[in-house]
Amino acid sequence: MTSGVKQTVIKNPTWWKRRTSMERALTLISIIVILIGISLAIALGIVLYKTKATTQTDAPFNAEALTHGSIINSYPTEDKPNELCLTPGCIHTASKVLEFMDPSVDPCDDFYQFSCGNFIKNTNIPDDKSSVTTFSVINDQLEEQLRTMIEEPIKENEPKPFVLTKQLYKACMNKTKIEEIGLTDIKGIIKDFGGWPVLEGDNWKDGDFDWRQAVYKFRKAGYSVDYLIDFSVGIDLKNSTQRIIDLDQASLGLRREFLIKGLEDKLVKAYSEYMVDIAVIFGADKQRATKELKDSLDFEIKLANISLPNEERRNATALYNAMTIRQLLLLDISTK
């Protein structure tokens, strides 16, 4: 039965061999695509995990954490324990920052409101102030602390600067003593300086007065000497290793911008009345004071008129005219 039949030996071929070449190609492509898919999924998983970890370590104050009140929980206490400042100073500061923030606002919508919202909402500007800032709050606090320190009794062996500061403060605060002394001391000082013409009246001798001597006396006693020429010793702006004598225009009793408006200006008028009032309190005759201090004010207005306005004083290079004292002596007085 088998003899005439052409025997084709057909081995049971493998599944792969039974496929057409087209099917083989498609199968290979599918496998590759699946492998790529799996590796992408793994990579995505790793990236997501890392992102989560960094958000937690670097930005524990993100808005979401705040609104959900989970700041403490989001601290990576085990990951990077040394990078977290837990000193009382840090904790108090962090608490202040949080207190000023308004976490109900999304920082991406309004960052200012997010970071400062509660400070604005909870801060009242007192009547004696025109503004309040986080810095002015700290400054007020510092002044209170200084006052407490200065008001403490002087201790034994306390360094001299502290003793003097405490004594000065005490003297300034003793109103009884201030009232008791009245004008006696200051009148004595004025007499020592050569007297105030408006108080001296007919006893004043113009010829006896030397303004340079007055400058020496004022300086020695610790008073300002900047009434005709501003004079100071300071660091050379162009060479900080040396000091220079700094000469500048007079410092005026009222700003130049007001003085040059003349006697009709409201503020200049008030300034003029203030001068007369002070002289009268010191015992001057009102009529004499009005006349003499008008001359004095006219002189100050002239000084203001030859002073440089602020807008011409912005260029430090232009105001820097270094010279030796010999060169200064040779300087023509009319040079600007």
Ligand X SMILES: *[C@@H]1O[C@H](CO)[C@@H](O)[C@H](O)[C@H]1NC(C)=O
Which residues are near ligand X by CB under 6 A?
A: 170, 174, 176-177, 239, 241-242, 260, 262, 301-302, 305, 315, 317-318
Token reading at 263: 């006697």
Smallest gap from Cβ 231 to ligand X, in A, equals: 21
* Gap between the Cα atoms of 165 and 312, Å rounded: 39
* Gap between the Cα atoms of 54 and 76, Å rounded: 10
* Gap between the Cα atoms of 166 and 154, Å rounded: 7
Smallest gap from Cβ 245 to ligand X, in A, equals: 14
Q: What are phi and psi of 329, to 5 degrees?
A: -65, -35
Smallest gap from Cβ 101 to ligand X, in A, equals: 42
Closer residue to ligand X (CB): 177 or 313: 177
Smallest gap from Cβ 148 to ligand X, in A, equals: 16
Cβ contacts of residue 240 below 8 Å, gap of 6+? none
Closer residue to ligand X (CB): 268 or 279: 268
Closer residue to ligand X (CB): 35 or 154: 154
CB 304 within 8 A of CB 256: yes
CB 75 within 8 A of CB 60: yes
Smallest gap from Cβ 243 to ligand X, in A, equals: 9
Closer residue to ligand X (CB): 37 or 262: 262
* Gap between the Cα atoms of 15 and 168, Å rounded: 107
Closer residue to ligand X (CB): 13 or 182: 182
* Gap between the Cα atoms of 51 and 44, Å rounded: 11
